[in-house]
Structure 1
Amino acid sequence: MTTVTATPACLVRAPREGIPLRLFCFHHAGGGASFFAPWRDRVPPEVDVVPVQLPGRESRFRERRFRDAGRLAESLEGELAPWLDRPYAVYGHSMGALVAFALVAARMRGGGRAPRTLYVGAYGAPHLTPPLPPADRYADADLARFLVDVGGLNPQFLGRDDWLQALLPIIRDDLRICASHRRAGLPDPDDEVARLPLDIHAFAGQDDPLVDAEAVRSWERYARRFRMSTVPGGHFFPREQPAPFFDVLNRSLAELITEPGGRRAEPA
């Protein structure tokens, strides 16, 4: 008898069946699952891109937002557990890297399957001070200008108070998620015994005005195996200069698909 699992609210669609590898994707602060809309046409057909939509934005705009990475990860782990039973990888961009890592850590602490690879982009490891400012540092106009400067906000939003009143509360709550990293129950990078058996591939933008390559490289302290790639572009390199980024990502995904166990049949 086949059990039908309802698609959780955090997924914009159900993952496809019969695909060798699922790639769950977590968006940046102030962003949404639509950031990953172009990815499906850019990765191999053997990879199912599954964007994760956090509450309080886009299709979930009316839902209450999280402000704590640990609580968010616990909620996501409960929602996504039925879909993490087969080979999968995870990509998190900027804030999404912290959320993705917190989810994976929660999953693995409970004895769940580890991802084939955790991909993190444009974000320093969680023992570092978050690259994004505290939620209440800037007035609305200054926060909007900061976001424009790092490429996270279209300049047309400047001076549009009606738009900013809808957007900036989302961003401020996401900044609170970033600032909660020390109480999120994440592994201590100096504790060799508690280190997760995790493969991490980190991406840095060559011209990122917010996060430098050394901060991104610091994820190595959390990895069993680590790979670092610096690609052209700024903080949002998958959108700004996608071709070089996807060249590297797709080679890595191809390795995951073809390495021993990549096509292993899993029980339904």
Structure 2
Amino acid sequence: MTTTAAVSCLGREPLEDARLRLFCFHHAGGGASFFSSWAGRLPPGVDVLPVQLPGREARYREPRFQDAGEVVGALGRELAPRLDEGPWAAYGHSMGAMVAFALTAARLREGGRPPEALFLGAYAAPVAAPTLPPPDRYDDRELARLLVDFGGLSPQFLGRDDWLRVLLPILRDDLRICASHHRAGLPDPDDEWARLPLHVEAFAGADDPLVRPDAVRAWGRYVHSFRMTTVPGGHFFPRQAPDPFFGHLSPALARLLAAPGAPPAAPG
């Protein structure tokens, strides 16, 4: 896809006085609004910056991506100035986990500023079985029912063909992104020398019907430092069981703010 974005992938300018920027990457079929409540749950000094892919929400008029390599390349070019300005971390949920990891891998190859940590949720490492189905396995009715079954769609959508005609093409293109992860420049999980010098914290929902915790745990094969946490809830545990999830994420971010070399807090 070749497109000139009419709207930035960030909905606003980063806060100048933030001590840590947290770039958040949404799930397949979703958008930046998934992270709308996060700022109030995280430590002061963390600037939550949801990343919006084109073709949905505020960018609904723009052509969508269908290829993981193109997504990573476009985000890398747009976000590079922001990622180089100061300390940052990233959280990616489901498809967003793969996008966040591939973007970070590209940054490291290019000599860009690395993240303080990378947080990945509800997505199997590429070396494991795929988290999400191929884009064309199900017809529209079957795909909509699957979304309802794992909590990605309200049952009220099943009777609304007009809504599904908008939603399902977005989801199918996002599934194409997931299926093309081999074009995103990920390291070889079987090569210990290719492991990235990063700290990754991964989260899995204990009741997730799409991805098992051991498949999420396989992200540890890609990096030097890894921690895995299983939290209550299904595939969308940040919404289904937010307190346990943020009970882990918030302290992890607080530790980054307290680490030696972290920017000082702004004067009160």
Q: TM-score, normalised by structure 1?
A: 0.94
Q: Distance in 2 between matches of 1:83 and 1:51?
A: 13
Kindly indicate whether the alpha-carbon contact (under 8 Å) linking 1:198 and 1:222 is maintained by their aligned counterparts in 2.
no
The Cα of 1:194 is off from its aligned counterpart by 2.2
RMSD (Å) for aligned C-alpha atoms? 1.3
The Cα of 1:54 is off from its aligned counterpart by 0.3
Q: Distance in 2 between matches of 1:25 and 1:197?
A: 21
Q: Distance in 2 between matches of 1:138 and 1:67?
A: 18
Equivalent in the alignment of 2:77: 78
Q: Distance in 1 between matches of 2:222 and 2:199?
A: 9
Which SS does the other structure have where 2:36 is aligned? helix
Equivalent in the alignment of 2:3: none
Kindly indicate whether the alpha-carbon contact (under 8 Å) linking 2:7 and 2:59 is maintained by their aligned counterparts in 1.
no
Equivalent in the alignment of 1:120: 120
Equivalent in the alignment of 1:3: none
Q: TM-score, normalised by structure 2?
A: 0.94
Equivalent in the alignment of 2:185: 185
**Residue 41 of structure 2 corresponds to residue 46 of structure 1:** no
| Unaligned 5+ runs, structure 2 | 1-5
Q: Distance in 1 between matches of 2:127 and 2:58?
A: 32
**CA deviation vs aligned residue, 1:225-266 (integer Å, no higher than 9, x gap):** 11111111110000011011001001100110101112279x
Aligned 1:154-233 pairs, distance under 5 A: 154-233=154-233
Equivalent in the alignment of 1:242: 242
Q: Distance in 2 between matches of 1:129 and 1:61?
A: 31
The Cα of 1:129 is off from its aligned counterpart by 3.2
Kindly indicate whether the alpha-carbon contact (under 8 Å) linking 2:55 and 2:62 is maintained by their aligned counterparts in 1.
yes
Equivalent in the alignment of 1:19: 18
**CA deviation vs aligned residue, 1:149-181 (integer Å, no higher than 9, x gap):** 000011110021100000000000000001001
**Residue 148 of structure 2 corresponds to residue 151 of structure 1:** no
Kindly indicate whether the alpha-carbon contact (under 8 Å) linking 2:194 and 2:222 is maintained by their aligned counterparts in 1.
no
Q: Distance in 1 between matches of 2:130 and 2:16?
A: 37
Letter in 2 for 1:14: E
Count of residue pairs the alignment pairs up = 259
The Cα of 1:192 is off from its aligned counterpart by 2.0
Q: Distance in 2 between matches of 1:134 and 1:27?
A: 18
The Cα of 1:203 is off from its aligned counterpart by 0.3
